[in-house]
Copies of this chain bind each other. A is one copy, B any other.
Amino acid sequence: MFSQACKYAIRAVLYLAVHASAGKKVGVKDIAAALDVPKYFLAKILQQLSRNNLISSTKGPSGGFYLSEKNLEATLKEVVECIDGPDVFNACILGLPVCSSENPCPLHIQAFAYREGLHYQLKHQAIGDLAKRIEREEQKI
C-alpha cells in the first residue's frame, strides 16, 4: 500500500506531533534513533515534507523539526500524497488505466469499499487529534 518512504514519513510526523513543538525541536538523528529508521533516508523524507509545508524546521543550534499549529491541523492524507503521489487512493488496485464505479475492474467493488474507508479516516482526522489518541492509548509509533 504505502512505500517504505511513506511509512517512515507517517511515523516521523506522528512522532513529531507527540514529542516535539516549536519550543522543543527534535533533530533527524533523534527521530531516526527513536523510530529505528535509516537516518540519512529519513532526512531526505523530512526535507520533502518540509518543502511542502507539512512539517516545520529551523537550522543551527537548538534547531530541528517540529509541527506548527498549522501543521497539526493537516492530515495524514496530505503526508501520504506528498511522498507517494496524488494517486495512491485512486489508482486501480489491478493497475488498469481506466477503472471506476461506471467501468469497474473485477476487484473494484471490494477494493473501493475498503480503501475508501482508510482514505476517509486519513482525510478527516487532523494529525493533532491523532496524536492525542496515541498519547491517551499509549500506542507505539
Contact = CB atoms under 8 A, between A and B. Distances in A.
Contacts of A130: 106
Q: Provide the main secondary structure of the chain A interface.
A: helix
Contact of A105 (B103, B106, B116, B141): B141
Contact of A113 (B110, B117, B140): B117
Contacts of A14: 106
Number of copies of this chain that the complex holds: 2
Contact of A114 (B4, B104, B115): B115
A25 interface: no
A40 interface: no
A14 B106 CA distance: 9
Nearest to A104: B139
Contacts of A115: 114, 118
Nearest to A8: B95
A94 B104 CA distance: 28
27 contacts: A2-B93, A7-B93, A7-B94, A10-B94, A10-B107, A11-B94, A76-B107, A98-B140, A105-B139, A105-B140, A105-B141, A106-B134, A106-B139, A106-B141, A107-B118, A107-B122, A110-B117, A110-B118, A111-B118, A113-B114, A113-B117, A114-B115, A114-B116, A114-B117, A114-B118, A115-B118, A117-B117
